[in-house]
Amino acid sequence: MTAWSSMYSAIHANDDRRPFSRQTLSRIGRFALPHRRRLVQFLALSVLTSALAVATPVLAGQVINAIVAGNDTGLIIRLALVIALIAVIAAALGLVERWLSAGLGEDLILSLRTTVFDHVQKMPIAFFTRTRTGALVSRLNSDVMGAQRAFSNTLSGVVGNLVTLVLTLVVMIGISWQITLLALVLLPVFVIPARRIGARLAKLQREAANHNATMSTQMTERFSAPGATLVKLFGRPDLESAEFAARAGRVRDIGVRTAMVQSAFVTSLTLVSALALALVYGLGGFYAVRGQLDAGAVVALALLLTRLYSPLTALAGARVDVMSALVSFERVFEVLDLAPLIEDRPDAGEVPAGPVSVEFDDVTFAYPAADKVSLASLEEVAVLDSRGGVDVLHGVSFRVEPGQLVAIVGSSGAGKSTIAQLMPRLYDVDSGAVRLGGVDVRDLTAASIRGAVGLVTQDGHLFHESIRSNLMLARPGAVEEELWEVLRRARLADLVLALPEGLDTVVGERGYRLSGGERQRLTIARLLLARPRVVLLDEATAHLDSTSEAAVQEALTEALIGRTAIVIAHRLSTVRAADLILVVEAGRIIERGTHDELLAVGGRYHELYRTQFAQPAVPTSGLG
Look at residue 6 in the predicted model and tell me its pLDDT: 36
* Rounded Cα gap, residues 133 and 603, in angstroms: 44
Domain boundaries, the chain: 2-336, 358-378+385-459+532-613
Residue 288's SS3 state is: helix
Give the distance between the most distant pair of CA atoms in the chain. 123
Tell me what the mean pLDDT of segment 27-38 comes to: 78
Look at residue 127 in the predicted model and tell me its pLDDT: 81
Q: Is the per-residue pLDDT at 435 higher than 90? A: yes
Look at residue 80 in the predicted model and tell me its pLDDT: 86
393's CB contacts (< 8 A; 6+ apart) are 363, 364, 365, 415, 418, 419, 422, 587, 588
Quote the DSSP letter at residue 392: E
Which residue(s) pair with 466 in the sheet?
506
| 13-27, 58-72, 308-322, 546-560: segment of lowest average pLDDT | 13-27
Look at residue 12 in the predicted model and tell me its pLDDT: 38
| 181-195, 211-225, 282-296, 528-542: segment of lowest average pLDDT | 181-195
Q: Domain 2-336 adopts which CATH fold?
A: ABC transporter transmembrane region fold (1.20.1560)
Look at residue 102 in the predicted model and tell me its pLDDT: 76
- Beta carbons of 566 and 420 less than 8 angstroms apart: yes
Look at residue 168 in the predicted model and tell me its pLDDT: 82
Look at residue 226 in the predicted model and tell me its pLDDT: 64
- Beta carbons of 507 and 466 less than 8 angstroms apart: yes
Q: Is the per-residue pLDDT at 107 higher than 70? A: yes
| Average pLDDT across the chain, whole number | 78
35's CB contacts (< 8 A; 6+ apart) are 104, 107, 108
pLDDT in tens, 548-565: 667 667 767 766 777 888
Look at residue 440 in the predicted model and tell me its pLDDT: 93
Residue 103's SS3 state is: helix
Helix (H) or strand (E) holding 456: strand 453-456
Look at residue 211 in the predicted model and tell me its pLDDT: 76
Averaging pLDDT over each range in 340-349, 374-383, 611-620, which range is the top one?
340-349
pLDDT in tens, 149-180: 666 667 667 777 788 888 888 888 888 887 77
469's CB contacts (< 8 A; 6+ apart) are 463
| 139-148, 338-347, 614-623: segment of lowest average pLDDT | 614-623
The 391-400 sheet, strands edge to edge: 391-400, 358-366, 431-436, 439-440
Q: Is the per-residue pLDDT at 459 higher than 80? A: no
Phi, then psi, of 120 in degrees rounded to 5: -65, -35
Q: Between residues 303 and 221, which one has the greater pLDDT?
A: 303
* Rounded Cα gap, residues 503 and 470, in angstroms: 10
Look at residue 16 in the predicted model and tell me its pLDDT: 40
Tell me what the mean pLDDT of segment 135-151 comes to: 73
Averaging pLDDT over each range in 23-37, 141-155, 364-378, 397-411, which range is the top one?
397-411
Tell me what the mean pLDDT of segment 442-458 comes to: 86
pLDDT in tens, 383-402: 666 666 688 899 999 999 98
Q: Is the per-residue pLDDT at 35 higher than 50? A: yes
Q: Between residues 4 and 76, which one has the greater pLDDT?
A: 76
Q: Is the per-residue pLDDT at 621 higher than 70? A: no
* Rounded Cα gap, residues 386 and 127, in angstroms: 15
β-pairing, 358-366 vs 391-400, is antiparallel
Helices (DSSP H) in 399-490: which residue ranges?
A: 416-422, 446-452, 467-472, 480-489
CA distances from 29 to 34, 547, 569 (A): 9, 61, 53
> Cα-Cα-Cα-Cα dihedral of 157, 162, 164, 165, to 10°?
130
* Rounded Cα gap, residues 240 and 237, in angstroms: 5
* Rounded Cα gap, residues 404 and 419, in angstroms: 17
Question: In sequence order, what DSSP letters do the residues of 189-250 get, joined into one string?
Answer: HHHHHHHHHHHHHHHHHHHHHHHHHHHHHHHHHHTSHHHHHHHHHTT-HHHHHHHHHHHHHH
Q: Is the per-residue pLDDT at 614 higher than 70? A: no
Look at residue 624 in the predicted model and tell me its pLDDT: 32
Look at residue 247 in the predicted model and tell me its pLDDT: 80
Query: What share of residues in the chain are helix, strand, coil (percent, to 5)?
Result: 65, 10, 25
Q: Between residues 178 and 482, which one has the greater pLDDT?
A: 482
Which one, of 494, 538, 500, lies nearest residue 520 by Cα?
538
* Rounded Cα gap, residues 171 and 498, in angstroms: 81
CATH 3.30.450.40 for the 358-378+385-459+532-613 domain, yes or no? no
Q: How many residues does the chain have?
A: 624
Alpha-carbon Rg for the chain, nearest whole angstrom, is 35
Look at residue 9 in the predicted model and tell me its pLDDT: 38
Q: Is the per-residue pLDDT at 359 higher than 90? A: yes
> Cα-Cα-Cα-Cα dihedral of 525, 529, 533, 537, to 10°?
-20
pTM beyond 0.75: no
Tell me what the mean pLDDT of segment 220-236 comes to: 64
Tell me what the mean pLDDT of segment 121-148 comes to: 77
Which one, of 244, 240, 595, 229, lies nearest residue 406 by Cα?
595
Q: Is the per-residue pLDDT at 620 higher than 50? A: no
Look at residue 1 in the predicted model and tell me its pLDDT: 36
Look at residue 361 in the predicted model and tell me its pLDDT: 94
Query: What angle separates helix 225-233 from helix 237-289, to the nearest 10 degrees?
Result: 110
The 453-456 sheet, strands edge to edge: 453-456, 534-538, 564-568, 405-410, 580-585, 588-593
